[in-house]
Chain A
Amino acid sequence: MTEIDFLPAEYWNRRQSQRDQWYLLGIGVASLILLLASAFHEAGNASQIRAKLAAVETEYKEALVQVEEVTRLETRRAPLATDAKIHSLLRARPSLSRVAAAIATSCPPRLSLNTVRVRPVKLNRSETKTAVVVAPSPGASAGPGSPDLVAEQLERFQADRDITRLAVELTGIAESDLDVTDLLAGLDKAGCFSEVKVLSIDFLPIGVLELREFKVHCMLAEVF
């Protein structure tokens, strides 16, 4: 069976042309849709990043507030720490009653003390554990009460404390050298004295007795 096309060729050409036009239009619309989709995607991305940035900025501001608080507390700590240091230095002194009690308990029975002298002595810098150097502060010309001046005075005070020790000098009479060595051993054992040494022992004849007149020197231990 043969199909006979009775339509004119112009009709077919026009239809073809119309299809091409629709095809072009479709391409154009599809391209525009793609473009718009891309634009929306970009805009969405940008708004997400902007929101993230805003959140990070808020977080940053909160962190800055905390840092300011740290700075404020550090500023507040400085004078308190200075006061605490002064107080510690004022309190860091050995108890003389304990020293006297330790001396009394270290004495053997056949020995009597005539004098007990406890006095502060300044050690040489080389004898101290830490070298104390008080450098002149750059703000030495600052007025009284200025932080620099207070810090410098505090350094000097601490340096003075560091090089000051209490020296103990005992004089007395013993029946024998053994009693004097017992005293030395007792002072050594007491735990609060160091550098215990005899400065002198002299014979002291009283009647038939030959007593010993002695002088003992020691230093009070640093931590007591």
Chain B
Amino acid sequence: MNGSLRRNTMILIVSLAAILVLYLLFFWLPQRRNSALMLGTIQKRRGEIDRCRQQADQLPMLNGELEQLESYNRQVAERIPAVLDVREFLKTMHGLGQQHAVTISTWSPSLASDLVGIKQQPVSLTVVGKFQAIVKMIYDLEAMDRLVELTDLDMKVKDVAGRAEDMVEAKLSVRLFARPPKSPANSQNNS
């Protein structure tokens, strides 16, 4: 009887040991390794998520900045026509001259050139009138819808026979701007 019990005990211990070894080798250890790998990936991903979140935090600011830029550009672009149109400018100048009693005696446009994607053309003008009227006209010119740049101003007292009031002759250099519409290829690149 004792021999049978010992044999049964041995069989049980050996089987349990075999099952334990198999369990450890083929289930527990791979499972642990896999879990460790997954935990490592989770930790790595969390770090990456933090970095991404830091970048994503800029999103509202960036959106706001873009809106501001677009609004500012739209506002200025409205003041820059698509073509230089010197004739239209001269018409405006004559209108301003009539309004302020200033005579435009000479004008001469120079060659148009390119300035960072914007066309520019200097126009020289000589106007005659009273000092205050000329200053008002220059003010209106600066404040008009179209963006222009006054680069030079040369004013001198003009002797006009038979006129008691001091007349002033002013030479003005005005730079006109125009932004040609972007080609479809360029606008596609920018969008």
B63–A73 contact, CB under 8 A? yes
CB-nearest residue of chain B to A48: B35
B142–A83 contact, CB under 8 A? no
Mask: chain A, 115-159; 1 = CB below 8 Å from B; 0 = not: 111111000000000000000000000000100001001100100
* B83 CB within 8 Å of chain A: no
- Residues from chain B with a CB closer than 8 A to the CB of A200 are none
A42–B31 contact, CB under 8 A? yes
A117–B155 contact, CB under 8 A? yes
B156–A56 contact, CB under 8 A? no
Mask: chain A, 86-128; 1 = CB below 8 Å from B; 0 = not: 1100110101111111001000000011111111100000000
Contact of A93 among B39, B132, B138, B149 (CB under 8 A): B149
A155 to chain B, nearest CB (A): 10
* A190 CB within 8 Å of chain B: no
B35–A66 contact, CB under 8 A? no
A116–B155 contact, CB under 8 A? yes
Complex Cα–Cα for A91 and B177 (A): 11
A99 to chain B, nearest CB (A): 8
CB-nearest residue of chain A to B117: A150
* B106 CB within 8 Å of chain A: no
Interface residues of chain A: helix, strand, loop or mixed (majority): helix
* A84 CB within 8 Å of chain B: yes
Complex Cα–Cα for A67 and B8 (A): 66
Residues from 32 to 84 in B contacting A, C-beta threshold 8 Å: 32, 34-35, 38-39, 41-42, 45-46, 48-49, 52-53, 55-56, 58-59, 62-63, 65-66, 69-70, 72-73, 76-77, 80
A204 to chain B, nearest CB (A): 15
- Residues from chain A with a CB closer than 8 A to the CB of B150 are 93, 96
Contact of B153 among A16, A101, A118 (CB under 8 A): A118
- Residues from chain B with a CB closer than 8 A to the CB of A112 are 157
CB-nearest residue of chain A to B134: A100
Contacts A50-B38, A52-B42, A150-B117 given; indicate if A104 touches B135 (C-beta within 8 A): yes
A117–B153 contact, CB under 8 A? yes
Complex Cα–Cα for A96 and B53 (A): 50
A13–B72 contact, CB under 8 A? no
Contacts A17-B1, A73-B59 given; indicate if A86 touches B154 (C-beta within 8 A): no
A186 to chain B, nearest CB (A): 16
Complex Cα–Cα for A150 and B1 (A): 101
Mask: chain A, 45-57; 1 = CB below 8 Å from B; 0 = not: 1100110110011
- Residues from chain A with a CB closer than 8 A to the CB of B56 are 63, 66-67, 69-70
- Residues from chain B with a CB closer than 8 A to the CB of A154 are 116
Contacts A73-B66, A97-B139 given; indicate if A17 touches B5 (C-beta within 8 A): yes
B118 to chain A, nearest CB (A): 7
Complex Cα–Cα for A38 and B56 (A): 43
Contact of B66 among A39, A53, A67, A80 (CB under 8 A): A80
Residues from 133 to 160 in B contacting A, C-beta threshold 8 Å: 134-136, 138-139, 141-142, 147, 149-157
Contacts A70-B56, A115-B155, A119-B154 given; indicate if A83 touches B16 (C-beta within 8 A): no
Given contacts A35-B19, A56-B46, A93-B149, 8 further A-B contacts (CB under 8 A): A24-B8, A67-B52, A69-B56, A77-B66, A83-B73, A83-B77, A87-B72, A100-B135
Please, could you name 13 A-B residue pairs with CB atoms under 8 Å apart, sorted by A?
A21-B8, A24-B12, A28-B12, A31-B19, A53-B38, A60-B52, A67-B56, A76-B66, A77-B69, A86-B118, A97-B138, A97-B141, A119-B151
Residues of B within 8 A of A (CB): 1, 4-5, 8-9, 12, 15-16, 19-20, 23, 27-28, 31-32, 34-35, 38-39, 41-42, 45-46, 48-49, 52-53, 55-56, 58-59, 62-63, 65-66, 69-70, 72-73, 76-77, 80, 115-118, 131-132, 134-136, 138-139, 141-142, 147, 149-157, 177, 186, 190-191
